[in-house]
Structure 1
Amino acid sequence: MDTNLINKYNVPGPRYTSYPTVPHWNVQDFRLKTWKSKMIDTFTKTNKTEGVSVYIHLPFCESMCTFCGCNKRITKKHDVETPYINAVLKEWSMYLNLFDEKPVIKELHIGGGTPTFFNPENLNYLLTCIINTSRLAENYEFSFEGHPNNTTKEHLQTLYDLGFRRVSFGVQDYNETVQKAIHRIQPFEKVKQVTDLARQIGYTSIGHDIIYGLPFQTMNDVINTIEKTKELSPDRIAFYSYAHVPWLKGNGQRGYNEENLPNGKEKLMMYEEGKKLLQGFGYHNIGMDHFALPTDSLYKALTNHTLHRNFMGYTHAKTDLMIGLGVSSIGDSWNSFYQNVKNIEEYQDLVNNQIFPIAKGHISSDEDLIIRQHILNLMCHYETTWSTENKTLEKAPLKMFPLVHDGLITIKKSKIVVTEKGKPFIRNICMSIDQYLGNNNQLQFSKTV
């Protein structure tokens, strides 16, 4: 490990689930009329050919996990479920009224928060209403995030009966000291129980999320967690870096100090050792932080060059239109983005009054779309090529010279290729062509290593 290289590139930077990234969107430049036009135009062009993606954010959790940076509300009162579901369905009806035909759903994902905070009957009602007012693509995929401690057989069976075949369980780390620090106590036996149950019911893609760089975590903890994970053989694994952003409101990352976290070099060593272990167990590296068995759809998308990345991470189901439902949800029409308000009461009040609950957004320029595609290419395939007639990246070789000098990329004519040495620094490589990024706003992001 080159310590100088790690110190040089371990700076705050985006994960590039969008371009431009969310901090560069603002409500002043966002025009609702223009956004609606963009949404309708993309829907008209793509609904029948590739369908749409739907993301539903269910924000409630019974306890605070201190590693989590997601938008959530901590409560043990389950009477919040019905009003929230009714609000999501009212928002959905607003999109149905916006379009001139039923959406064809290709991909639907439920995230949170803790989706399995909601009881199975309420989830069934929510999803049945959405399914019954849309059509399903021939190769649709439904997925959800399950908490191992409260995902029951009834949850799994109810969602399976509705068409769900993929589930991801948040494991993070099996060391008890780490679990106490992040307030996420879940023994291996509990994860095994829910994983086996999902497989018995018939789920064909089971994922586990593992995080490196957590407070008090050591290399041995990462190795132990991966070896235990191998015993359960999930179809795919998200092995990603802990994003330490305690300055963001409401994320709970204040139960430990910076000195309790592994440093940049230690984190990179954790990643490299973890990757080597996973590959030795038969998993293939997908993008910057995913691994999958050869039988999983994510690996097949990698091999046939159809891998895509959006706000849900890496996916094989590319759509130009993604509808985000629920508080803080993000939507994408390829040529525009939007994010809903983050306060639950404000969200419910807006949709109850038939007002799109949008807090901010961005209408993409032609240059935005070109750079977005290059960043997608780099994040998904570790290379990109541009036309010599296109002037958008004509200065890229000059800006990327330090990356070439350090052996992270090669540039030949109009093609950028990420080297093996450069793959752990893929976020930094994408940052070099980001036209919005500046020293003043980088502090909003977690560090890249």
Structure 2
Amino acid sequence: MLHSLVNKYNIAGPRYTSYPTVPYWDEATFSLKKWKSSLIQSYKESNSKEGMSLYIHLPFCESLCTFCGCNKRITKQHAVESPYINAVLKEWNLYLELLEEKPIIKELHLGGGTPTFFSPENLKRLINGIFMHATRAENYEFSFEGHPNNTTREHLQALYDVGFRRVSYGVQDYNETVQKAIHRIQPFENVKKATNLAREIGYTSVGHDIIFGLPFQTREHIKETILKTKALLPDRLAFYSYAHVPWIKGNGQRGFNDSDLPSAASKRQQYELGKQLLAEVGYHEIGMDHFALTNDSLYQSMNNGNLHRNFMGYTASKTQTMIGLGVSAISDSWYGFAQNVKGIESYYNLLKDNILPIYRGHILNEEDLVIRKHILNLMCRFKTSWTKDKLCFEALPDVLIRLQEMKKDGLLNTHSNTIEVTEKGRPFVRNICMAFDVLLQRKQPNTPLFSMTI
């Protein structure tokens, strides 16, 4: 039965870190002026109540991983560190000029690229520079992505000293054949050392990222990786499907053939096996493709209804305002999205002229805002509801018609004004969200835009 459902629903679709999704942003009516206005509105509404989130993109890597779809610059020249940090702090200062109150930072995340490409001293300089004119929220959470091969005690200690308590390590898979295919060679001992170092220093949440559906990967490889993961017992796990999008220029996904990838049915078997093994040792499924132990804030936020999803992925609490700094970073004012230029040189040139380095975005209309809430509800709580005066929208009857087939297949239950995803339907939550995505339904893409849903 699972095999037939996989065949039926394995189509290209968004991961819904935002709605509208980036390919459906209305760039024609977007402007920097409108973005600034939406940000100021959101900031005034939310800063004193909940604070804001800050994402900083650090794009440099010393080598190219062929599974990666992130925006990065490959170099071994560490002289690039200081100019980039200066530029990020310049961008932050331009945002500070827009905001009348002193920002309260509730969440801060360093992503990449490889954040630990940067020296501990430069990372500390970056964070101290951010907080020269900002304060930490009472229950703040700072996190960073670490590479197990180059995250040193000095990196961990420097970031701990400025407030970081969570680190996530990109593991992907422990099998040597798979590692060679994705150009990511890192022995288990390196991951073990990096994990133990973080705990010795005092990090309260250590996460591992594992991918299924990689080239040459089998169920036995997944079993081997999960069993080794159990030995380290990270507090949370991202266990997600490899997104094969080789048409995105420069993402490096040309290092193997499509025939080297497992089938959709095999990928789903890999996930189900991993999920079963993780459950046996006490991990709980959080939203889509995430797992956590009961002591982790992600599990606790799921239980108390505060789980949120944005461009940083799942987060333990919601902030209405999120500013993204650095090349390609995306900001979210709730009322609008804005993305920075992807080229480092363009980024530097705009900042030199005191211009926010934004090149595209979208201002949400009333329909967008309502549908966004439904998709967030489904992604974070596996259910959503509406009444005549709340979360209703004109196209809702069409959405319910599109959901009928999924209801027949047992993927969801409907009541008078509620939809609830079943346990059987959780692997297909992206497909369920697609039924709500009226922009996607109105204009189906003619060229590849998204990875497969399974």
TM-score (norm 1): 0.99
Match of 2:398 in 1: 395
Match of 1:338 in 2: 338
Per the TM alignment, residue 441 of structure 1 is displaced from its structure 2 partner at its CA by 5.3
Match of 1:355 in 2: 355
Match of 1:74 in 2: 74
Aligned-partner SS, 2:436: coil
Match of 2:451 in 1: 446
Give the AA of the match of 1:223: K
How far does the alpha carbon of each residue in 1:390-439 deviate from its partner, in whole angstroms, 9 at most, with x for none?
23423322121111121111111111011111110100000011011143
Q: Is the 8 A contact 1:117 1:150 kept in 2?
A: yes
Matched, 1:423 2:426: yes
Aligned-partner SS, 2:413: strand
Pick aligned residue for 1:414 from 412, 417, 424: 417
Per the TM alignment, residue 387 of structure 1 is displaced from its structure 2 partner at its CA by 1.0
Alignment of 1:84-163 (within 5 A): 84-163=84-163
Q: Is the 8 A contact 2:170 2:209 kept in 1?
A: yes
With over 3 angstroms needed to count, the CA separation of the structure-2 counterparts of 1:199 and 1:381, relative to structure 1, is same
Match of 1:245 in 2: 245
Match of 1:282 in 2: 282
Matched, 1:328 2:328: yes
Match of 1:295 in 2: 295
Matched, 1:200 2:200: yes
Q: Is the 8 A contact 1:12 1:446 kept in 2?
A: yes
Distance 1:251 1:86 in 2: 26
Match of 1:262 in 2: 262
Q: Is the 8 A contact 2:247 2:448 kept in 1?
A: no
Distance 2:425 2:359 in 1: 36
Give the AA of the match of 1:387: T
Give the AA of the match of 1:418: V
Give the AA of the match of 1:415: T
Per the TM alignment, residue 27 of structure 1 is displaced from its structure 2 partner at its CA by 3.3
Matched, 1:404 2:404: no
Distance 1:237 1:442 in 2: 33
Q: Is the 8 A contact 1:157 1:201 kept in 2?
A: yes
Q: Which has the larger displacement, 277-286 or 31-40?
A: 31-40
Q: Is the 8 A contact 1:388 1:414 kept in 2?
A: no
Distance 1:78 1:103 in 2: 31
Distance 2:10 2:421 in 1: 18
Match of 1:59 in 2: 59
Q: Is the 8 A contact 1:71 1:112 kept in 2?
A: yes
Distance 1:394 1:50 in 2: 35
Give the AA of the match of 1:253: Q
Per the TM alignment, residue 324 of structure 1 is displaced from its structure 2 partner at its CA by 0.3
Distance 2:151 2:375 in 1: 36
Give the AA of the match of 1:391: F
Give the AA of the match of 2:393: K
Match of 1:173 in 2: 173
Distance 1:333 1:409 in 2: 31
Q: Gaps (5+ residues) in structure 1?
A: none
Aligned-partner SS, 2:334: coil
Distance 2:448 2:12 in 1: 6
Distance 1:121 1:358 in 2: 28
Q: Which has the larger displacement, 359-368 or 385-394?
A: 385-394
Give the AA of the match of 2:171: V
Match of 1:45 in 2: 45
Per the TM alignment, residue 442 of structure 1 is displaced from its structure 2 partner at its CA by 7.0
How far does the alpha carbon of each residue in 1:35-91 deviate from its partner, in whole angstroms, 9 at most, with x for none?
111100110110000000000000000000000000000000111111111110100
Per the TM alignment, residue 303 of structure 1 is displaced from its structure 2 partner at its CA by 0.6
Give the AA of the match of 2:367: E
With over 3 angstroms needed to count, the CA separation of the structure-2 counterparts of 1:173 and 1:166, relative to structure 1, is same
Q: Is the 8 A contact 1:6 1:265 kept in 2?
A: yes
Distance 1:431 1:155 in 2: 41
Distance 1:346 1:441 in 2: 30
Q: Is the 8 A contact 2:367 2:393 kept in 1?
A: no
Aligned-partner SS, 1:443: coil
**What is the number of residues matched between the two proteins?**
449
